[in-house]
Amino acid sequence: MNKSGFTDIEIAITGEEGIDKLQSLRPDLIILDTILPDMIGFEVCTKLREVENMPDLKIIMMTGIIDAVDAVKAKRVGADDYCAKTSDCSALVEAVKTNIRGE
């Protein structure tokens, strides 16, 4: 367990790597950037949602710029939450608590 209280944290650099890891790791939560080296995060989210037998998977999309249109698009492609990347991680921590721990 690390200092955040979570175990088994995996990192994928590209969307394709994340999709491949999903097949074998079966995570509870994915934090997904909207911009990745090989594809747009919205496309990755759509592909993640197409994986069978993962109804409880939570996806939090993160962006450098909060835009109402992108927030709606994130929900449309299957994201459970959408928040900004900042040096203060409180929004991300709250999103994780809301989506995983039910707080």
1 lies in some domain = no
Concatenating the DSSP letter of every residue in 78-99 gives T-SEEEE--SSTHHHHHHHIII
Nearest partner of 41 among 71, 6, 8, 21, judged by Cα: 71
7 lies in some domain = no
pLDDT, residue 68, reads 84
Q: Taking the model in full, what pTM does it have?
A: 0.83
Write out pLDDT tens, residues 46-61: 999 998 888 889 999 9
Number of domains in the chain: 1
CATH of the domain at 89: 3.40.50.2300
Domain with 74 in it: 15-101
Q: Which is more confidently placed, 87 or 79?
A: 79
pLDDT, residue 58, reads 93
pLDDT, residue 3, reads 54
